[in-house]
A and B are shown apart, each in its own frame.
Chain A
Amino acid sequence: MKRIINEMKLRLIARGESEGLSRAIIAAFVAELNPTVEELLDLRCAVSEAVTNCVVHAYVDREVWEKEYIYISVRLYDNREVSVEIRDTGVGIADVALAREPRFSTGDNERGGMGFLVMESFCDSLSVKSKVGRGTRVLLRKKFKS
């Protein structure tokens, strides 16, 4: 059975600057597992996609800036696995299966709608749970090679 060796919880305001900040913090946190440069870039890229979704899509209907948070929870396991949960309490996604399809985007055409596909490709597993009006939870898992 795998055991947790460390855990971190972060709460950031859903603003653009949080994209780079969350990548940097998570990269520092997983450093003790000595991932390769490529593995680390994969994880940073997947995190960037999930956090961007919170920034761009989650809080479109709200105006209460102070409550627009992104909740990130990272766990390291002794089998060199890392799990990253990225959660918001925003508008939610009505049809998760549809949203996960490439090219789906509720934003303008400046966004490729490739976020979930990238998360899926750059991690070992991706789970997305969402409730309309309640928020979305994305769980990424990646195991670094030994």
Chain B
Amino acid sequence: MREGKIECGDDKLRLILPCEVDHHILGMMRHSLDKLLFEKKPSELLIDFSGVEMMDSSAIGLILGRLEICERIGASLKLIGVNDRARRLLELGGVMRFGGICVE
């Protein structure tokens, strides 16, 4: 089972989501992600969905919460590897309509 992880590049942070995304799993990753965001103040946060198999609406809360932080520290937020299923859920949550989020 693929685990989630956070990669720090120069001026970029990449959150690689695990294969199962729920409120509990994200809760464990969120703290270290936010700490890094405030510490490193990157210019871009990438959230990588490419390995996600099962995801519930906790991902919507994650994105909206990180969007708020990104706006505060002047970072852009990009969602990458969004497959059809993830897209369906994000559309249901209206995430695609939010300004400031780039979906690749």
Binding site for B on A (CB under 8 A): 16-17, 19-20, 23, 38, 41, 44-45, 48-49, 52, 55-56, 102, 109-112, 114-115, 117-118, 121
Contact = CB atoms under 8 A, between A and B. Distances in A.
Q: Is the interface of B mostly helix, strand, loop or mixed?
A: helix
Contacts of B62: 110
B interface bracket (residues with beta carbon within 8 Å of A): 20 to 34
A111 B58 contact: yes
B22 A20 contact: yes
Interface of B: 20, 22-25, 27, 30, 53-58, 60-62, 64-65, 68, 85, 89, 92-94
Contact of A112 (B30, B60, B68): B60
B58 A52 contact: yes
A55 B26 CA distance: 14
A20 B54 CA distance: 10
